[in-house]
Amino acid sequence: MKHVPDATADRTFTEDGTTDRASVDSLLSELDEYAVEQALRLAESDPDAEITYLTVGPEDARDALRKALAMGGDAAIHVSDEDIEGSDAFGTSLVLAKAIERHGFDLVLCGMASTDGTMGVLPALLAERLGVPAVTHLEDLAIEDGTVTGRREGDGATVRIEGTLPAVISVTDRSGDARYPSFKGIMAAKKKPVETLGLVDLGIEAAQVGPAGARSAVDTATRRPPRTKGEIVTDEGTGGVGLAAYLTTKKFI
Amino acid sequence: MAEILVLVDHVDGAVRKPTLELLTLARRLGEPSAVFLGPGADAATEVLGRYGAQKIYVVDAPEVDEYLVTPAVDALTQIAERTGPAVILVPSGPDGKEIAARVALRLGSGLITDAVDVTAGPDGPVTEQSAFAATYQVTAHVTQGVPVITVKPNAAAPEATPAEPVIEKQDVTFGPASAAVRILSRTPRERGDRPELTEADIVVSGGRGVNGAENFALIERVADALGAAVGASRAAVDAGWYPHSHQVGQTGTQVSPQLYLAAGISGAIQHRAGMQTSKTIVAVNKDADAPIFELADHGVVGDLFTVLPQLVDEIERRRS
């Protein structure tokens, strides 16, 4: 789960080129809700299934875990350590992989990307670090006898793919609408256990994560000048002709 | 001169345009070498040479087509270890980004994804990206290892500079992880007569206001009149009116054409994230308060079912 700045708010960078988390409300990344939904659906068909949510982030990232727990599931792990702040995808994937290994897993479900960084590489990095198949970018999925199959919209083609568990799976926003937490779910979530871990618990050195461990750096982050408001006309019978005239002046016709 | 590896995106040897853009960008940084994985290298040699590839590394192994991503990771990593390139460029896309990330992890390299420009800098390549729904422009550089950079389509205009490429077949040892995810079937994206969404100079998109799959014929008529690709908002795609492969937005295709014409699209933040960097934006919508008008260089508040047919007629009249 990733706790991200609200995409509908005015998001900014801090001076060191990292996301400014203080100035805007954060919430559970919308794209992670699809992973929660798929986890809950899988658990509904398997009475032995246990769902544990995992996030890395400062104190208020627990809100993302509570949101997911309110949708369903059993428990959560919150990795929080001030040295992690400013990590790139490699540092973050290291922390997540260590926490996943420590807890044990049959299946790691992820959203296709976060709604803030939008790199979409974390599931692949997790699979690489954990040494398990990456069955990623799925629009639908089915699991039977320890094998996952699903449809992936790739670069030039749609493919049906298959991998065996344990695996890392990521799902897109087309995998199925996420449910809303019920009042009962919200109340129940307050009683579900949330374990907190730091870097020491995971055997990670501070230098491996955060800005010290990052393998790339932002040089500048400049706000685009807002687009100058163009000419808005109300159609009174010649809107199409006017539009054609505009496109002609711009040499598109 | 430093060697720059460019991973070729192709379908059975038919090289897709973003690869030509990458070869063009690579020439700013050094000497481009194309990395061609899978069958069809002979068919691709001419076009890769025409756009300046000095070398073509070919891995024609069945694993590349039979399994997802990991065989390409093995191949690109091993070729990079043998050749010691200054930079590795990969086309952005679900496959390309996963390949790039895993190669970077194995090489101990830094990674930058979704660059819209790459230039030579004092400490290696400097990239430009859009962030936060394209409200920010960010420049960055890799600080560790061989920079691995994925580049979005339309980042550069392909420029031909003919070269006589040397073709080097490469043997690759595929690790056990290479067979992790099997490809059961493959359906190439249909290429109609219209330009591809990511490559088009003009995109005409329809949204909720189009109000039905059958009405997308009107969007297609406008697109054909302008020589444009057809796009659709998530609302239109979710309603089943147009295929998902045409979805423009944060989780669909992000486009940056010379002209973007939005019809019946209100302009939710997720849609704006996918088209906000278009050079010229034109909108037709019944709702004068639609957020899309905040971005539009020219907006028509009106019914798209009267405005668009009139636009098509007027385009034809002006051309005849």
**Chain A residues inside the 8 Å CB shell of B300:** 232-235, 239-240, 242-243
Å from B52 to nearest chain A CA? 23
Rounded Cα–Cα distance for residues B187 and A158 (Å): 5
Residue at A82: amino acid letter: E
pLDDT at A118 over 90: no
Q: Chain B: nearest CA to A190, how far in angstroms?
A: 31
Nearest to A162 among B95, B184, B258 (CB): B184
Mean pLDDT of chain A: 94
Q: Given a cut of 80, is residue B311 above it in pLDDT?
A: yes
Encoded tokens for A190? 């307050």
Instruction: Kindly state the average pLDDT of the residues A214-234.
Output: 91
What is the Cα–Cα distance from A153 to A138, expressed in whole angstroms? 7
When CB atoms are compared, the residue of B100, B140, B259 closest to A252 is: B259
Residues of A in Cβ contact (< 8 Å) with B288: 232, 234
Estimate the crossing angle of helix A89-103 against helix A122-130, to 10 degrees: 50
Determine whether the interchain pair A125/B295 forms a contact, defined as Cβ–Cβ distance below 8 Å. no
The residues facing A13 across adjacent strands are A19
Q: Is the pLDDT of residue A23 over 80?
A: no
Inter-chain residue contact B302 with A239, CB threshold 8 Å? yes
ipTM reported for the complex, 2 dp: 0.94
Selected residue of B132, B248, B271 to mutate for chain A interface (largest A Cβ count, 10 A): B132
Mean pLDDT of the region A92-103: 98
Does the pLDDT of residue B190 top 80, yes or no?
no
Q: What's the confidence (pLDDT) of residue A15?
A: 78
Would you tell me the crossing angle of helices A62-71 and A30-44 to the nearest 10 degrees? 40
- β-pair partners for B25: none
Closest by Cβ to B105, choosing from A125, A159, A252: A125
Partner residue opposite B307 with nearest CB, options A119, A124, A243: A243
3-state SS of chain B?
CCEEEEECCEECCEECHHHHHHHHHHHHHCEEEEEEECCCHHHHHHHHHHCCCCEEEEECCCHHHHECCHHHHHHHHHHHHHHCCCEEEEECCHHHHHHHHHHHHHHCCCEEEEECEEEEECCEEEEEEEECCCCEEEEEEECCCCCEEEECCCCCCCCCCCCCCEEEECCCCCCHHHHCEEEEEEEECCCCCCCCCCCCCEEEEECHHHCCHHHHHHHHHHHHHHCCEEEECHHHHHCCCCCHHHEECCCCECCCCCEEEEECCCCCHHHHHHHCCCCEEEEEECCCCCCHHHHCCEEEECCHHHHHHHHHHHHHHHHC
Q: How confident is the model at residue A170 (pLDDT cuts 50, 70, 90)?
A: very high
Out of B138, B189, B303, closest to residue A220 by CB: B138
What is the nearest CA distance from A81 to chain B, expressed in angstroms? Answer: 23
pTM: 0.94
Q: What own/partner pairs with CB < 8 Å and gap ≥ 24 does B293-298 have? A: B293/A232, B293/B267, B294/A227, B294/A229, B294/B267, B295/A227, B295/B267, B296/A230, B296/A232, B296/B262, B297/A227, B297/A230, B297/A231, B298/A230, B298/A231, B298/A232, B298/A233, B298/A243, B298/A246
Whether A157 and B181 lie within 8 Å, measured CB to CB: no
Please give the residue of chain A at the shortest CA–CA distance from B287. A234
Structure tokens at A225: 């000048």
Average pLDDT score over residue span A62-85: 96
- A143's tokens: 């699991």
**A217 pLDDT above the threshold of 80:** yes
Would you state the pLDDT for residue A6?
84
Q: Which residue has the tokens 């056990």?
A: B176
Q: Distance from B178 to chain A by nearest Cα, in Å? A: 9
Residue A117 binned pLDDT confidence (cut-offs 50, 70, 90): confident
Measure CB to CB from residue B307 to each of A17, A217, A240 and give the nearest one. Answer: A240
Per the DSSP assignment, residues forming a β-bridge with A167 are A107
* Chain B residues lying within 8 Å of A155, measured CB to CB: 9, 91, 93-96
Q: Do B181 and A133 touch (CB under 8 A)?
A: yes
User: Average model confidence (pLDDT) for chain B?
Assistant: 95
Closest alpha carbon within chain B to A157: B188
Q: State the DSSP string of chain A.
A: --EEE-TTS---B-TTSSB--SSS-EEE-HHHHHHHHHHHHHHHT-TT---EEEEESSGGGHHHHHHHHHHS-SEEEEE--GGGTT--HHHHHHHHHHHHHHH--SEEEEESS-TTT----HHHHHHHHHTS-EEEEEEEEEEETTEEEEEEE-SSEEEEEEEESSEEEEE-TTS-PPPPPPHHHHHHHTTS-EEEE-HHHHT--GGGSHHHH-SEEEEEEEEPPPPPP-EEEE-SS-HHHHHHHHHHHTT--
List CB contacts (< 8 A) between B143 and chain A: 214-217
**What is the distance of C-alpha B25 from the center of its chain?**
14
Give the per-residue pLDDT at B29. Answer: 97
Per-residue pLDDT at B179 exceeds 90: yes
